[in-house]
Amino acid sequence: MLSDKDKFALMEEIAAKNGVISHFEEQYGEVTGRVMIVETEVPESAKAGIEATDMLHAFECSFDFLDATLNVVVAVRPLRIISNMWAVRQKPDAELPEEDWQKFFIKQLKENIAPDGSFAVPMYSFVNNYGDVTIVQKV
């Protein structure tokens, strides 16, 4: 389930009014999934052995078609992965995200974190088997 279903619904309404959804569907077909990336707390275990100058941020990736999230800690300047990725089940019997979704998560972070380490969250993605479009509100 999405981290914030209501916030995503609001962004989807705006994207539909601005023609983003219809443009995506003309190119790739119907939207079949929604993915939301938000910032979350950096676990203490990830801070061990890291220089104080590293700009650490933890990110969570949630899905409207899975009851599990993916999480990772990155240093944003220069951009590099600091932790192993981990999954959290939102329901006890939830299926975990497949490797393709792990790659998608990392791809979105690489594409949406600037070289100076700046980024905006949430990152809202509309997906299907043929493509994706991601919207990030700049602050």
Cα→Cα distances 48→33, 44, 70, Å: 36, 7, 21
DSSP per-residue string spanning 63-81: ESS-SEEEEEEEEETTEEE
Question: Measured between alpha carbons, how far is 7 from 122 in angstroms, rounded to an integer?
Answer: 9
pTM above 0.85, yes or no: yes
Question: Measured between alpha carbons, how far is 1 from 122 in angstroms, rounded to an integer?
Answer: 15
**Residue 131, pLDDT score:** 97
- DSSP label at 84? -
Per-residue tens of pLDDT for the chain, all 139 residues: 999 999 999 999 999 999 999 999 999 999 999 999 999 998 887 777 666 556 889 999 999 999 999 999 999 988 999 889 999 999 999 999 999 999 999 999 999 999 999 999 999 999 999 999 999 987 5
Cα→Cα distances 12→2, 36, 90, 111, Å: 13, 12, 23, 20
**Residue 33, pLDDT score:** 98
Question: Measured between alpha carbons, how far is 98 from 95 in angstroms, rounded to an integer?
Answer: 9
Question: Measured between alpha carbons, how far is 13 from 112 in angstroms, rounded to an integer?
Answer: 22
**Residue 42, pLDDT score:** 85
**Residue 137, pLDDT score:** 80
- DSSP label at 41? P
Cα→Cα distances 75→26, 71, 78, 81, 130, Å: 37, 14, 7, 6, 30
Task: Tell me which residue of 101, 99, 70 sits closest to 83, measured CA to CA.
Answer: 70
- Residue spans per domain, the chain: 5-136
**Residue 54, pLDDT score:** 63
